[in-house]
Amino acid sequence: MHHTKWTVHPTFYKLESFILQLPDIFDHEGEVIYQGRNELRLFHIEGYPLIVKSYQRPHLFNRIAYTCLRASKAERAYLYALKLIELGIGTPAPVGYIVCRDGLLMEKSYSVSLQSDCPHLYKDFYTKVFSREKEILTAIARTTAHLHMHGILHKDYSEGNILFDDSLKEIPVELIDLNRMVFGKVSLEKGCKNFERLLGSDEMLETMGEVYAKERHLDPVACVERIKYHVHQRLKMLNSYPFPQKK
């Protein structure tokens, strides 16, 4: 493979050599923290805890597209993180990315960010009881509203991609897995549908819907109704997936 493109944020210039080595070292160094369609590994380099995401080799059409027509997933993840930070929306600091090719076609890409300080994911609601539940949901709903008010729709807005820290007075929320975002006006319906993968009790959905509506100056009754509708539709689609019960 040949390196075709890479970027390192100026703040992390000392990590350039690490990023350039990623295609050679990723598969046998670092700590695996997620392995599936893509893979996440944790590295400790120059005193920084780094999350490196390796994107699977795309199919032929996308290999051509990413080579000639559009930014790779790794590049988009980096650029979109910069955009969120510019807008004051939480996300782990982007460090850089590298895209590799095999011959004329894109082969692999890797994105690098700092590890988040937030210890919890939204999906932790399914198994834990949080004493500050309403405050957490309020912070998540506000973050979602601000994202949509800036014309950004996160297309993988799921329980594993929303992080928070309830140990601080002001609860920070951070969004990850940013490569699938689209830009344009977000209507009430599109915005409410974006909550569909955040399963929860009706009370939880009502809290988020009311806060979301207030932030966006929308009808709270309509927002709550549409959020509930989309979450319930997803539960029906999952069929055998049990409604999350707190223990």
| Global confidence as pTM | 0.90
- Same domain membership, residue 171 and residue 129: yes
Task: Identify whether residues 106 and 201 lie together within a single domain.
Answer: no
10/105 same-domain check: yes
Measuring CA to CA, which residue among 179, 229, 159, 175 is closest to residue 53? 179
Give the structural domain span for 93.
Answer: 2-114
Question: Does the residue 246 lie in any domain?
Answer: no
Instruction: Supply the CATH number for residue 49's domain.
Output: 3.30.200
Residue 138, classed as helix, strand or coil, is: helix
Within the chain, where are the H helices?
Answer: 16-25, 60-68, 73-86, 133-149, 188-193, 202-216, 220-238
What is 91-110 written as a DSSP string? -PPEEEEEEEEETTEEEEEE
Distance CA 209, CA 188 (A): 11
Residues 6+ apart with CB under 8 A from 26: 41, 52, 54, 110
The reply to whether 142 and 84 lie within a common domain is no
pLDDT at 2: 60
Report the pLDDT value the prediction gives residue 247, as an integer from 0 to 100.
43
Here the CATH number for the domain that contains residue 147 is: 1.10.510.10
Any domain includes 243 = no
Structural domain includes residue 244: no
CA atoms of 208 and 202, how far apart (whole Å): 10
Q: Does residue 110 sit in the same domain as residue 124?
A: no
CB atoms under 10 Å from CB of 158, counted, come to 16
Check residue 4 and give its pLDDT. Answer: 77
Per-residue pLDDT in tens (0 to 9) along the chain, 247 residues: 566 789 999 999 999 999 999 999 999 999 999 988 899 999 999 999 999 999 976 554 555 554 545 678 999 999 999 999 999 999 999 999 999 876 566 578 999 999 999 999 999 999 999 999 999 999 999 999 999 999 999 999 999 999 999 999 999 999 999 999 999 999 999 999 999 999 999 999 999 999 999 999 999 999 999 999 999 999 888 875 555 545 4
State which H helix or E strand residue 41 sits in: strand 39-45
Q: What total of structural domains would you count in the chain?
A: 2
Domain end point (choices 114, 149, 169): 114
